[in-house]
Amino acid sequence: MTRIAAVHGALAPHRHAQREITDMVAGVCLPEGSDRRVLDRLHDSAKVRTRHTALPLDAYAGLQDFGAVNDAFIEGAVSLGAETVGAALDTAGLSPRDVDLLMFTSVTGIAAPSVDARLVGPLGLRPDIKRVPVFGLGCVAGAAGIARLHDYLLGRPDDVAVLLSVELCSLTFQRSDASQANLVATALFGDGAAAVVACGGRRSAGAHGPAVVDTRSHLYPDSEHVLGWDITGSGFRVVLDASVCDVVRKNLAAEVDDFLIGHGLRREDITAWVCHPGGPKVLEAVEDALELPVGALDVTWRSLAAVGNLSSASVLHVLRDTLAERRPPAGTAGLLLAMGPGFCSELVLLRW
């Protein structure tokens, strides 16, 4: 079966305390003369201590239109993506010429040629590499990306596949927009990347990461309004409905239980919950819905505090940290899960 050979996480170059970002947002995103008390309250309650940004904070005021923002995205994504994939391949003991498939995902910028195409030359990937650029999955794409690598490698067990996520969320913060959704986004989201190297069943000798046992996708009906983007003249304007947590509480437990039962497992059998750090309220909804024991999502909470929500890259950072800091006993089951626009969930059953 598919085995994960390496997970590498990287962060954008500029690191800031939460209060520094709050002050930048007050100057860039609030209309002149606005009361910033709501902004301060939302940023203080996000449980984020530090975040990274693609640009220095004083550069954001100069990004006057979507073209300038997207140019900054392409430059940052190519640079951070090359660093991240290179480091992941080094960790896996593989060369760029070994890679048969490169999947790239982001929901914070667009490019044609796509970012994955722009990386082939700089990384030394083969010109016959299969490329799959993915846009629109948002926060769920880290989990969904691993699932789709698994689908591919089941049919090509001698191959090596790489998932790259680059999310430069700070570039999507909307100027002169004091809406609650925009202010919540500016409180939570940070900039970073992650890469996963996965090997097919006949190529997995020497790969020390977990095996992918099975995956499940679920799209909840009539929930398109819950999460996503409105594409406007100024770029990506966040859609973030207050009902997100209600959808999680209503649906997640039944979906997880049905998935696990199909493999003769119960929640109690899961030795590590690798969960996307959507935000404090979402994480509390996950804990409540699944009735998780105290501390089950500690790695996720720590990731949220240290780097914020990195959209699709976040759950991959949590996977990396789980392997490094709280690796479960060999042979036990783990569950990687994320949710995103649609509204949807993606579950990945792992064997450590």
Q: Is 315 helix (H, G, I), strand (E, B) or coil?
A: helix
Q: Which pLDDT score, from 0 to 100, does residue 208 have?
A: 82
**Residue whose token pair is 């948002």:** 138
Residue 281 tokens read as 């309220």
Beta strands in 111-210 (DSSP E): 130-134, 160-168, 191-199
350/316 Cα distance (integer angstroms): 13
CA dihedral 168→76→236→338, nearest 10 degrees, is -30
User: In sequence order, what are the beta bridge partners of 218?
Assistant: 345
Q: What is the CA radius of gyration of the chain?
A: 19
Own/partner pairs for 241-250, CB < 8 Å, 24+ apart? Answer: 244/278, 244/281, 244/282, 244/285, 244/343, 245/281, 245/282, 245/284, 245/285, 247/220, 247/223, 247/343, 248/282, 248/285, 248/286, 248/289, 248/339, 249/285, 249/288, 249/289
**Residue whose token pair is 């789709």:** 148
Q: Catalytic residue positions?
A: 139
7/318 Cα distance (integer angstroms): 10
DSSP 8-state code for residue 189: B
Q: Which pLDDT score, from 0 to 100, does residue 244 have?
A: 87
Q: Which pLDDT score, from 0 to 100, does residue 242 have?
A: 82
pTM as predicted: 0.95
For the chain, 352 residues long, give each residue's pLDDT as a single digit of tens: 899 999 999 999 999 999 999 999 999 988 887 889 999 999 999 999 999 999 999 999 999 899 999 999 999 999 999 999 999 999 999 999 999 999 999 999 999 999 999 999 999 999 999 999 999 999 999 999 999 999 999 999 999 999 999 999 999 999 888 889 999 999 999 999 999 999 998 887 677 899 999 999 999 888 888 888 888 888 888 888 888 889 999 999 999 999 999 999 999 999 999 999 999 999 999 999 999 999 999 999 999 999 999 999 999 999 999 999 989 999 999 999 999 998 999 999 999 9
Residue 152 tokens read as 């591919």
**Amino acid letter for position 263:** H
